[in-house]
Every structure is written in C-alpha cells, then in structure tokens.
Amino acid sequence: MKEELQKVILAAREEIMQCRSLHDLMLLKSRYTGKKSVLNGFMKKLGHLDPKERPTFGKTVNLAKEALVELLTQQENTIKEAQYNHALASQRIDLTMPGRRQDRGSLHPVTLARREIEDIFVSLGFDVAEGRDIEDEFHNFDALNTPKDHPARDLSDTFYVGGDVLLRTQTSTVQIRTMENYAPPIRIIAPGRCYRNDNDASHSPAFHQVEALVVDKGVTFADLKDMLNVFVKKMFGDEIRSRIRPHFFPFTEPSAEIDMLCVNCRGKGCNICKGSGWLEMGGAGMVDPHVFEMLGIDPEIYTGYAFGLGIDRIAMLKYNIPDMRLLFENDIRFLKQF
Amino acid sequence: MKISYKWLQDYLKTELSPEALTDRMTFAGIEVEGIEELGARLKQIRIAKIETRIPHPGSDHLSICTVNDGTETLQVICGAPNCAAGQVVPFAPVGASFGDFTIKKTKLRGELSFGMICSEKELELSDNHDGIMVLPPDAPIGTDMASYLGLADTCYEVEITPNRPDLLGILGVARDLSALLQKPLITPKITLPATAGCIRDTLAIENQAPDLCTRYTARMVQGVTIAESPQWLKDKLLSVGLRPINNVVDVTNFVMMEYGHPLHAFDFAQLAESRIIIRRAADGEAFSALDGETYRLSSRDLVIADAEKPVALAGVIGGDNSQITEHTTDIVIEAANFLYSTVRKTSGRLKIFTDSSYRFERDIADETTEIVSARAAQLIVEIAGGTLLDGVIDVYPAPKPTIKVSVRPSRVEKLLTVAMDGTMIKDYLKALGLECVAEAADELTFSIPPYRKDLTREIDLIEELIRLHGYNNVEPRFFPQTIMNRRKIGSRRMLQDIMVSYGYSEIVNWSFGDPEDMDHLKLDAEDDRRKTVPVKNPLGARFSVMRSSLIPGLLKTASYNLNHGAGSLKLFELNKVFFSSNEKLPMEREMLSGLATGALHETFWKEKNQDVDFYDVKGVVEEILEQLGTSKLRIVQSADSFYQAGVGADILYRNSKVASCGKIDPKVAEAFDIGQPIFGFEVYFDTILESGKVKSPVFAAIPKVPPVVRDLSFVVSKEHSVADITKTIRSTNPQLIKRVVLFDEYTGKNITPGSRSLTFSIVIGSDIKTLTDEFTNKILQKIMKKLEAKHAVEMR
C-alpha cells in the first residue's frame, strides 16, 4: 500500500506542476485532497493494515496531503502571476503616439505686449485709462499746445472725419481727458489705437501707443528718467538701459526722445539698430506749465511728466518680428506662433 | 473692567439712557463689550400688602393670605411663621423668574396660590430665611423692589485700551465722558478728618528699590472698628462685581474703582518693628498671600516687607500675615506706584491676576498716589471710625516734570479737514484736563495732566480733538481717482482668454471699413451699421469709413487664410466699431466677433473629426455670456441678415441684444470668396458691461442626499423647441427638479417626418430627504401628463 501511495503522490505532483489553468487546478485539488479524494481513500483503507502500522501509515498519508496542498497553493500563485504578466504584456502601448490636448488659439502679439505693459505699470501703481479713438482737435492738438498751423494738423498727416473731428494721432489725448476729469495726484497709463496718414514697411495707418502721465507735488525730471529705466528693464531685461535725448514736443518742456539699448546687439551696433546700438522708443518730457494752466491745474503746486511709447514697436522687438505689416496681415501661420 | 451706570452718575449727571451712553462710550473709544442689567430679579418683585390671613385648614404651618399688589388682590399660600395681616411685603407674582425656577399658579393642599411672598434670602438681599421680609408700612404698594431699594442699575463691561490707564477708574471714564458730552465733571471732595499724633513717630518707611517703586505713601488710622460696610458701600462694590469684605478693605476697593489706582491696607500691629521696607525679594523667599497660597519669590519680584518678612507682593496681592481682621485696630494705608513691567512679570510668572495687578501693569500715574491715599483716609475714618495720624509719609524719589505739548490749528485742519480755531481746541482739551500754557500764532501749548501719559506729541492731541469732535462729524471727502475701469479691462482679458481656450486666434485689423461691405452683408438700408463715419481723407475707397462691424474684416482674414492653404480656422477680434451720432463725436462701441470654419478640432488619431456647426459657436457665446455674469437669456431668430435664415440666433439679456451667432449666409460668404460653411458670432461687450453689475457666486448648501436621475424619451413635433419643453418639465416641480439636460435628439427611421425623438435626463433631488421610488415616479408621471397636454408628445 505504501508503494501505491508513493505512485499516486508522484502522479499528483506531476499533474499539478503541469497544470496551467486555475480551473484545472481546482479540479486537481478536489481529486487529490477533497473528501472523496484518492488520499482519503487510503485513510479509509487503514483498517486493512496491521494495527501496529496504522499510526505510521496514517501520518504518512496526512503529511503527503499537506505537501500536496502546499504545492497546489504554490502552483496557484504561479499561474496567477503568469496570467498577470501576460495581461500586462498585452496592454503595452506605443508611448510615442500624441496625447489628447485641447485646441489652443492664440493672442495677438500686440495684445500680449499691451498686457505686459499694463501689468508692469499697474504693479508700479499706475491706473489704466482708456480714451476715444475719434477725438476733436482740442484734445488732440489745442490742449497739447500744438499751434494752429502746425504741420501735424495737415490732412497728409492726420485723418479727419468731420470739421474739427479727427482720428487721434497720439494717445496723449487721454492725458487731457484725465486732467479735465480728475484732480491730482494722477498716475495713469493710456494704451490705445492711434492713426496717422502713413502706410509703409515701418508705418501703419492704425497703430498702438501707450501714454503715461504722472502729476503730483514734487514730480521731477529725475523721476521720469527712473520710470523709463524701470519700465525698459522690466520689459526687456535688466541689462537693457534707457537714455533720453533733447527733443521737441509742443506739450512737454523739457522734452526728450527715449532710446533703449538695442535688444539685439546690446549696444554693439547691428542692422536692427542701424549700427547705433540704440533703439528709438518714443517721446517724453515734463508737462508744459501752459498745458496745466489750460486745464486749471496750478503749475506752481503741481509738476508732472508724460511719455509715449509704441506698443507695436515693443511687440516687434520683444518677439523679433521684422516687418510691421505682419502685425496686421493676420496670417494664421503668424498668429499661431504666439 | 466693570462700570456701573449709577456710580458713573456720581461724577457726571447725564439724562442719557444706559443704552445711549453705551453708544457714546463706544464712539469715544471705550468699547462696551457687554451690558448687564442689575436688579433684574428685584424688578419683577412688587411691594404688596397682606390684607387678610387665615390658617390653612389642611396644614398646621401654612396660611392663606390675600395680597394686594396695587392692581389686584390675589390669594397666596404662605409658609412663613411671621406672616401677618397688615404687613407690607415683597411679592413675586406668577411669572416672576428666580434663575431656573419660575413662579406658577399652584395648588397647596387644595388651596390655590397665585404667587409668593419673599424672604430676604429669596431676593438675594441677605442670608435671612427665617421668614418673609417685612417692609416699613409706608413702603409704596405696587412699586418694584429694585426701584424701591435703589438697586436698578446697569453694569457695563468695558475694554480699556492699553494706552489709556487713566480710564481704569470710574472717575476717569466720567472725565472722558464729561469732555465728550460737555457736562461738568463732579470730582469727589476730599477733606481730611481731624488728626492727632504724628505718623513719622509711629511708622518708618525705607525704599530700597527706587527704580521699581516710583512713589510710596502711607497714612495711618488708629482705633478703627472693623465691621461690615454700610449698605451703600456694599451696593457700590456689588454693582461692579466686587465682593464686600469689611469696611476698611471695602474702602480701599471703592477708592481703587473710583480713581483706578489700587491701594492696600495693612494691620499695623502685624508689622514687625513698625517698619515698611520696599525691597527686591530674596531668591526663593516664601510669601503667603491673601489667596491662601504660598509663593516662592525671586529677586525680580518687588515686595513690601516689614523688618522680618514680606507683607505684600508689590502691586499684585497682600500677604495673609498683615491683612485686616476683625481684631485690627490700627491700619496703614498704602498708596504707591510700581514699575509696570515688574508688576506684569511677577503677576504673569506667578499667575496671580488681581484688580490691582491689572491696573499697575498698565503704567498708572505717580501723581494719583497721594490723592487716593487721602480719599481712603477720609472714608475709613468716616466709616470705620478711628483717628487719622497727622501727616503722610511720601517717598517720591524722582517726581516727573510736567510734559508740554504744542498743537497747530493749521495742522489739525490739514490732517482732519476739520477746521478748529484756538478757542475750540482749548475747550476740547481743557475738558480732558489739559491746561493751555502758551498761545502763539498757529500754536497752542498745553500742559499734560500726569494721568494722560499717552499724550506726548502733537498728533496725540489731534487724535483727542477728533475723538471729542466725533469721527462721525468728518465729511467723507472723495477725490475721483478710480480712473481705471477694472471690470472692463479684466473682462476684456477674460474674453480673450476664453477664446484662446476654445481654440480661437486673435486677429487685429485696421479700424477702416469699405462701404461696399455693408452690401455684402446684405444689411437693410435702415441698419445701424449703415450709419458709418466717413473718413475725409482716406487711404482709398476700401478704407473710406470707420468700420461699424468686425465681421467683414474677419471674413476677409478668413478668406485670405483659406486661400493661403488653411482648411480650418477659428478667428476672433475684440475691438471698437464706430457709428455716426448726433453728438459732436461719433459713437464708439467695443465688440467681440469671431468666425469658425472647417474641422472642429485639430486631428486626433483616436477620434473621427467633426466639422464646426451652429452649436459650436453657440457654445462659445454661452460660455462668454455666463462668464460675464448674464443669466436668464432669451434666444430668438436673428435679425442679422448675414446669418443664414433659420440658422442664426440673437441672444437677449434684459431685452437688449447682447450677442448673436449663426451660420454665415452662403451668399454672404461667397461675396468674401469663401466657399465652405462658415459660422460666426458677435458679443456686444459694452452693452453687457453697461447692463449691470456682475453678481458674485452665492454658495448653496451641498445636498446631503444624492439626487435621482431619470431619463424620459418621447416623440414630439419639431414646432416645439427644446427650451419650451425644458421649461415645461422644470415647471412641474421647480423645487425638486434640479436639472433638465437634453440627452439625445433623433430623427429618421420610425419617426414621422416633421417630428423628432428627444431624450431628457431629469435630475430630481431634495435637499433634506431621500426621495422614494414611488415619489419620483409620481413626479415623472406629472411631467409626462404635462408634456402630453402642452406639447402633444408621444412617450416612447
């Protein structure tokens, strides 16, 4: 009977090791270790044995059963692990295929530049003021100290829509509107669209400017210089300085033209700055006392500075756009780059 | 700190009610944190007369009385042995409340009782509970006991800010209020009683720590009789929450509450060698205090000692070895001032917080020391008898010079905008005890009373002036400086960002327009967009007007790009359009317009791409309108001629057109050389901004019970719009139907032409309870009935 048991166990071990499915394994489990199993059959046959041998043989059967149970569990784990690995292998994907993304549009570079300019000045305590595009001569010229016969008022320079109604040629109109309506201290920037009767590679008949006006007690030329430096550095980086040169504007005195270090060559001279190392950015100056007087602000008490910069030009420099016309052509291949 | 309304009246006569006074105090910077009605219990008790009394037939100790309280006669069962007819007694009627128990109508052994005749204990007037309280026969019947006993009072709990130690006594508060109410301050008259002997022959004082004890005074009274305080004194202390102890201690507490300067009384007999030594404690020195605790002191603590031992922890607490007892006959009145930081540190370290430490640690004035000493001496002799020894021992090592501060009327006006002339300034400050000592042009110099240590600079005086003048009397001044239209600038950026997130690219076109474009858009002769502003000297005919619509420019840009190889486009522009007007300057309006054509999305390998349709542009518009804060929008067929008839919608908000969207009419598209379906939309940005404020989101409680979702499918004629059907469904039970979502539209096989099948998801939920199936089914049935009746739907 011992040999018979050995045989059965060897066969069982072989079958279990060969088994590759959980279902088959369950059947084997029931066949070899269940109630009606072969091993239980041996136990029932104990009675046929010599009573002396019974305990030893019984023990042997039990140990054999335990070993089989252990083996079954091992094999079950092996099968599960194999199935898991198989499943993972079949679920491998091509990681290089494109991910799902929302379509994204784009903001126009002029908008991007305008936002950045607004944010810089707002962080410096300025309010953003906005004005009209269509203005009268008073706000565009008279109040800005521009003589009646000044060439800027010519039809070849300025678009007119009616008698003395025109498309503003500069955002300085907002200076006047603000001083008419608000008492100092005033600290504004005025971004917006301006128009001049010009159309070529570096001029657009509609273009964008930002004006700044600061009126308070004790505002000086030194404050103006510093503000221009601060702005240019914040906009283009710490190494970009600005400088001012004497110039003439009817509504500021002293007046100045603003240059900043060429963003391309940083002063060495290149084709962008036409070899000078400097780029022209706009005009600036201390508000002319006569402008104050016209608006009922006492120039003995208040002083102020103003400056105007070209947003389009800032955008072109910032994003390396070579031709002004690209800004208004609206080619999607251009727009999508921003 | 507690202040009693009645006590305050001793120094300041005012007709202001306790409530009105609360207000004035608060606006004078003395914040009232709480108000307690004193005598509230006694207010319910009425004085009544026992008219008849007979023994209760069912009891050997109860009596049946009839009591008249001035308005009615009531039967009351009383158990007191001293109860008798004719007595005037305090009577608690039905409804009177004694803390947690309320007088009710009761039956005692078969006899009804409508109230209670009270003992002194029941009224918390004494511990006497031997019998009912009997009042003098002339006590006014019907009056409430609080008024009769003069105990009706209001107690304020006030917060004294750390800069105002002068307000730590009721007199100080009265002084401030007198300045504020412009009523005279009545200061107590201090007249020292007749004296005998000499204090210097009896007591010796030595200040070994002049840096910590800035002034020390002592007076002595011999032969006092320690007893209970008179009622008025006890009432005063009780009214500010202090427990009466004995006449001498009560006087010291009374004077502390009056002047805000704490005092202490020693039993002279207990002072070894009749000496008082002010010194730092020895490290580890033991001190047993009045509170029964023994403390270990350190050399950072200041003690008042006799020749042998500490008898008080300076400014914090007295010692139990020298306290006033019933055997005390001779007393030492200590009035002193101690360095506030020492008191604060000692009190904090030993965790002893007393009315005394509370005041000393707030840096009170040296100068009051002598005044409170005299005041206490006067009252002790008055109340406890005895003889005041002649003189005062006053150890005052370094009296501080009077501080002078100047104020310029011009500066007052500059800072406050309130003009005050010299007289006005002097009047205000005089009421606070400041004396004008010099007057020059635009400069008044004041000597500062010692108790106002907080006034050292001009700005301090200006603060006092406006406090007295009243913050309410400053006219708000407005300089319009809100130049920036943050809403407009913020909204503009938001719109741009939404467009970008929906895949649209921003374009910027010149502001010029071509008059022919108006014809290309098929605009009516009357259309506002025909009222263009002409440019006198244009660049050319194609640029001869200011544009009145962004659409032609967008169509031209689309056309340009389609001709340059783009198959799909999503474009927008946010800019101004112009209209001629009757004003000198034409009208300028900001608009957002956009176009979309071709594929809805960029190609994604996993999905089949769809083309843009009406609902895509409508979705963008819906998103924008929601983000701009509009709601309850109405959708109608568009009046704009450039949309294809039936595929263009105008969106109305508060009856104004705020947006439109639709398919560009193929002929219009063709005029701009566009051959593929193209969809457009416009948002009237300025109109929306002008239509009112954006509402902030308001949080609604998250329902605790999950809602039920049911689908409803039916066939309905195309005449009925989804908006109408949705409305019908919602209206069935607007409270419980939370959401109605269109789930599916189907036309074709099995559906009659002219009809469509619609499926709605209906979310039903209650915020409070779980809805049963039965209940939700009932709602669904109601919905179906309504749909059948209103829209002739056929359920599927």
Query: Chain A within 8 Å of B582 (Cβ-Cβ)?
Result: no
Question: Where are the strands (E) in B60-171, listed by range?
Answer: 63-68, 73-78, 88-93, 97-98, 101-102, 106-108, 111-113, 115-117, 153-159
pLDDT at A84: 94
Query: How far off is chain A from B664, nearest CA to CA, in Å?
Result: 20
- Residue with tokens 């929601």, as numbered in its chain: B626
pLDDT at B301: 96
pLDDT band at B26 (very low <50, low <70, confident <90, very high): confident
Q: Do B505 and A105 touch (CB under 8 A)?
A: yes
| pLDDT tens-place string over residues B115-132 | 999 888 888 777 778 889
User: What does the block give as tokens for B347?
Assistant: 């009190």
Q: Is the dihedral of CA B72, B78, B83, B85 positive or negative?
A: positive
pTM above 0.90, yes or no: no
Q: Is the pLDDT of residue B480 over 70?
A: no
Higher pLDDT, B166 or B151: B166
Query: Chain A within 8 Å of B495 (Cβ-Cβ)?
Result: no
CB-CB neighbours of B580 under 10 Å: 18
pLDDT at B234: 92
Pairing of strands A303-310, B2-4: unpaired
Q: Which residues on chain B are in Cβ contact (under 8 Å) with A331?
A: 560-561, 564
Proportion of chain B above pLDDT 90, given as a percent: 73
pLDDT at B280: 97
pLDDT at A45: 79
* Residue B643 neighbours by CB under 8 Å, 6+ apart: B660, B661, B662, B663, B664, B665, B680
Instruction: Return the axis-axis angle of helices B409-416 and B458-469, rounded to nearest 10°.
Output: 60
CA A219 to CA A228: how far, in whole Å? 14
Q: Do B511 and A133 touch (CB under 8 A)?
A: yes
Q: Do B483 and A178 touch (CB under 8 A)?
A: yes
* Residue A209 neighbours by CB under 8 Å, 6+ apart: A170, A171, A191, A192, A194, A282, A308, A309, A310, A311
| pLDDT tens-place string over residues B549-606 | 999 999 999 999 999 999 999 999 999 999 999 999 999 999 999 999 999 988 888 8
Q: Which residues on chain A are in Cβ contact (under 8 Å) with B571?
A: 330, 332
Query: How far off is chain B from A281, nearest CA to CA, in Å?
Result: 22
Q: Do B503 and A103 touch (CB under 8 A)?
A: yes
> In 3D, which of B339, B449, B318, B337 has the Cα closest to residue B394?
B337
Residue B585: HSE in the Cβ half-sphere, 13 Å Cα cutoff? 14
| pLDDT tens-place string over residues B656-703 | 999 999 999 999 999 999 999 999 999 999 999 988 777 777 888 888
- Mean pLDDT for chain B? 92
Which portions of chain A are predicted below pLDDT 50? none
pLDDT at A5: 82
Query: Chain A within 8 Å of B540 (Cβ-Cβ)?
Result: no
CB-CB neighbours of B341 under 10 Å: 11
**A115, A159, A331 member nearest B561 (Cβ):** A331
| pLDDT tens-place string over residues B716-728 | 999 999 999 999 9
Q: Do B505 and A336 touch (CB under 8 A)?
A: yes
| pLDDT tens-place string over residues B45-94 | 899 999 999 888 888 888 899 999 888 888 999 988 888 889 999 999 99
pLDDT at B740: 94
User: What does the block give as tokens for B8?
Assistant: 């305050």
pLDDT at B162: 86
Q: Which residues on chain B are in Cβ contact (under 8 Å) with A100?
A: 604, 606
Query: How far off is chain A from B682, nearest CA to CA, in Å?
Result: 18
Q: Do A128 and B489 touch (CB under 8 A)?
A: yes
Q: Do A132 and B588 touch (CB under 8 A)?
A: yes
**Mean pLDDT, rounded, for B414-433:** 92
Summary count for chain A: helices (H), strands (E)? 12, 10
Which residue is closest to A199 within chain B, CA to CA?
A: B539
**A129, A161, A199 member nearest B535 (Cβ):** A161
Which residue is closest to B545 within chain A, CA to CA?
A: A161
Q: According to DSSP H, which parts of B590-659 are helical?
A: 614-627
Point out which residues pair with B659 in neighbouring strands: B651, B683
| pLDDT tens-place string over residues B322-331 | 999 999 999 9
Q: Do A206 and B602 touch (CB under 8 A)?
A: no
**Mean pLDDT, rounded, for B278-306:** 95
Point out the least confidently predicted range of A49-53, B242-246, B521-525: A49-53
Nearest-5° Cα angle at B252, B249 to B256? 140
* Residue B552 neighbours by CB under 8 Å, 6+ apart: B513, B514, B517, B520, B521, B672
Point out which residues pair with B305 in neighbouring strands: B277, B310
Q: Do A108 and B506 touch (CB under 8 A)?
A: yes
Q: Which residues on chain B are in Cβ contact (under 8 Å) with A330?
A: 507-509, 557, 560-561, 571
Query: Chain A within 8 Å of B586 (Cβ-Cβ)?
Result: yes
Which residue is closest to A164 within chain B, CA to CA?
A: B584
Point out the least confidently predicted range of B368-372, B544-548, B653-657: B653-657
Residue B665 exposed, middle or buried by CB count within 10 Å (0-12, 13-18, 19+): buried
Are the beta carbons of A248 and A224 closer than 8 angstroms? no
* Residue B523 neighbours by CB under 8 Å, 6+ apart: B529, B530, B641, B642
**A100, A205, A332 member nearest B604 (Cβ):** A100
Which residue is closest to A139 within chain B, CA to CA?
A: B585
Pairing of strands A127-128, A186-195: parallel
Which residue is closest to B538 within chain A, CA to CA?
A: A159
Q: Which of residues 202-221 of A touch B (CB under 8 A)?
A: 204-206
Query: Chain B within 8 Å of A138 (Cβ-Cβ)?
Result: no
Report, in this order, helix, strand and coil percent for chain A, each rounded to 5: 45, 20, 35
pLDDT at B129: 81
pLDDT band at B218 (very low <50, low <70, confident <90, very high): very high
Which residue is closest to B588 within chain A, CA to CA?
A: A132
Are the beta carbons of A132 and A168 closer than 8 angstroms? yes
Q: Which residues on chain A are in Cβ contact (under 8 Å) with B601?
A: 103
Q: Which of residues 37-96 of A touch B (CB under 8 A)?
A: none
Query: How far off is chain A from B529, nearest CA to CA, in Å?
Result: 17
Query: How far off is chain A from B681, nearest CA to CA, in Å?
Result: 16
Q: Do A206 and B511 touch (CB under 8 A)?
A: yes
Q: Do B560 and A107 touch (CB under 8 A)?
A: no
**Mean pLDDT, rounded, for B502-510:** 97
pLDDT at B481: 58
Q: Is the pLDDT of residue B246 over 90?
A: yes
Q: Do A105 and B501 touch (CB under 8 A)?
A: yes
CA B120 to CA B128: how far, in whole Å? 6
Proportion of chain B above pLDDT 70, given as a percent: 99
Q: Which residues on chain B are in Cβ contact (under 8 Å) with A162?
A: 536
- Residue with tokens 């400050």, as numbered in its chain: B429
**B489, B502, B533 member nearest A161 (Cβ):** B533
Query: Chain A within 8 Å of B478 (Cβ-Cβ)?
Result: no
Q: Do B507 and A197 touch (CB under 8 A)?
A: no
Q: Do A328 and B510 touch (CB under 8 A)?
A: yes
Query: Chain B within 8 Å of A173 (Cβ-Cβ)?
Result: no
Any idea where the domains of chain A sit in the sequence? 2-90, 109-335
**Mean pLDDT, rounded, for B88-108:** 87
pLDDT at B704: 83
Report, in this order, helix, strand and coil percent for chain B, each rounded to 5: 30, 30, 40
**A102, A111, A129 member nearest B483 (Cβ):** A129
Q: How far is CA A192 from CA A133, B485, B537, B546, B574, in A?
A: 8, 14, 22, 16, 13
Which residue is closest to B575 within chain A, CA to CA?
A: A193
pLDDT at B529: 95
| pLDDT tens-place string over residues B734-767 | 989 999 999 999 998 888 889 999 999 999 988 7
Q: Do A332 and B566 touch (CB under 8 A)?
A: yes
Q: Is the pLDDT of residue B423 over 90?
A: yes
- Residue with tokens 């947690």, as numbered in its chain: B100
Which residue is closest to B559 within chain A, CA to CA?
A: A331
CA A20 to CA A27: how far, in whole Å? 12
Q: Do A134 and B533 touch (CB under 8 A)?
A: yes
Q: Which residues on chain A are in Cβ contact (under 8 Å) with B570?
A: 103, 105
CB pairs under 8 A between A and B: 145
Q: Which residues on chain A are in Cβ contact (under 8 Å) with B511?
A: 133, 167, 193, 195, 206
pLDDT at B79: 87
Q: Do A106 and B506 touch (CB under 8 A)?
A: yes
Q: What is the CATH number of domain A109-335?
A: 3.30.930.10
Cis amide bond preceding A185, omega within 30 = yes
* Residue B423 neighbours by CB under 8 Å, 6+ apart: none
Q: Do B500 and A105 touch (CB under 8 A)?
A: yes
